[in-house]
């Protein structure tokens, strides 16, 4: 029964996507895997070495790599290696920037990192499959709502600098997680449609999904850590 289900899944996948789109998605997800690995290396550099620590320089470096990537034209794949290098540089420094959060999580419970990564992977794969097998363009209508929500979250974050509200902070985290999950649906279908319209820039497309993946991962880290801390407080009070 399991083999029949797998075969049906593969056949459905093959029938839904054209060969160029399937190859493009393979390239996108290969880049995403490399980016995720680079982010893990970056986090390890902060945690276990003194080579580079999270701070102003790493943040500026990530921004520079980001703008180098988006400003360097694809040029039909001629600059691919350079652009992949920019992507991995951005991903590595993004991982370095997550170092302080990872340090805090390790102090609470190191296993949270593994749990959050597995949960993020499950969420990401599930929403990606949903986007691929949904009706064509169904989730593209989320774009306006998601970007509006993202702008609202930025305003809430600025406001909370003044108010320091725990409630507002929690709303930001959970709404942010909801928005990032929505962006996985939106970006996946957008990538498919962009390829159908002729765009072969899988490096830039993988950047979109990397940002989504990291967004989900960071928020799950925070949520799981808060729950662990609350449980410890309850045990301590008892």
* Count of alpha carbons within 13 angstroms of residue 236, beta-carbon side: 6
Q: What's the pLDDT at 120?
A: 97
Pairwise CA distance, residues 21 & 7, whole Å: 20
> In angstroms, how far apart are the furthest CA atoms of the chain?
64
Range of the domain at 136: 1-237
**What does the pLDDT read at residue 238?**
65
Instruction: Render 219-236 in DSSP notation, one character per residue.
Output: HHHHHHHHHHHHHHHHHH
Task: Count Cβ neighbours within 10 Å for each residue of 221-237 and write b for 16 or more, e otherwise.
Answer: bbbbbeebeeeeeeeee
Residue 2, pLDDT score: 40
At a CB cut-off of 8 Å and minimum separation 6, what does 123 contact?
181, 184, 216
- Total domains, the chain: 1
Please tell me the pTM assigned to this model: 0.91
Q: Using the 8-state DSSP alphabet, how is residue 66 labeled? A: H
Q: What is the pLDDT along the chain (238 residues), one digit of tens a residue?
A: 444 444 554 555 566 789 999 999 999 999 999 999 999 999 999 999 988 899 999 999 999 999 999 999 887 777 889 999 999 999 999 999 999 999 999 999 999 999 999 999 999 999 999 999 999 889 999 999 999 999 999 999 888 888 888 888 999 999 999 999 999 999 999 999 999 999 999 999 999 999 999 999 999 999 999 999 988 887 777 6
Q: What does the pLDDT read at residue 177? A: 96
In the prediction, which pLDDT does 51 show?
87
pLDDT of residue 15: 65
Give the model's pLDDT for residue 160: 83
């Amino acid at each position: 029964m399991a083999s029949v289900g797998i075969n049906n899944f593969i056949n459905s996948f093959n029938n839904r996507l054209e060969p160029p789109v399937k190859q493009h998605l393979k390239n996108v997800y290969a880049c995403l895997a490399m980016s995720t690995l680079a982010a893990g290396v970056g986090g390890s550099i902060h945690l276990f070495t003194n080579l580079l620590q999270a701070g102003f320089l790493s943040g500026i470096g990530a921004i520079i790599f980001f703008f180098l990537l988006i400003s360097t034209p694809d040029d039909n794949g001629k600059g691919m290696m350079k652009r992949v290098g920019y992507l991995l540089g951005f991903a590595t420094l993004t991982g370095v920037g997550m170092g302080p959060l990872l340090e805090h999580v390790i102090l609470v419970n190191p296993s949270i990192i593994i749990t959050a990564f597995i949960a993020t992977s499950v969420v990401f794969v599930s929403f990606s499959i949903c986007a691929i097998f949904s009706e064509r363009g169904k989730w593209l209508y989320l774009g306006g709502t998601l970007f509006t929500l993202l702008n609202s979250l930025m305003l809430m974050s600025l406001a909370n600098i003044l108010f320091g509200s725990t409630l507002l902070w929690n709303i930001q985290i959970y709404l942010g997680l909801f928005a990032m999950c929505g962006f996985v649906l939106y970006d996946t279908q957008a990538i498919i449609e962009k390829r159908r319209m002729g765009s072969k820039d899988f490096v830039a497309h993988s950047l979109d999904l990397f940002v989504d993946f990291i967004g989900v991962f960071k928020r799950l880290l925070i949520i799981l850590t808060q729950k662990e801390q609350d449980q410890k407080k309850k045990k301590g009070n008892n």
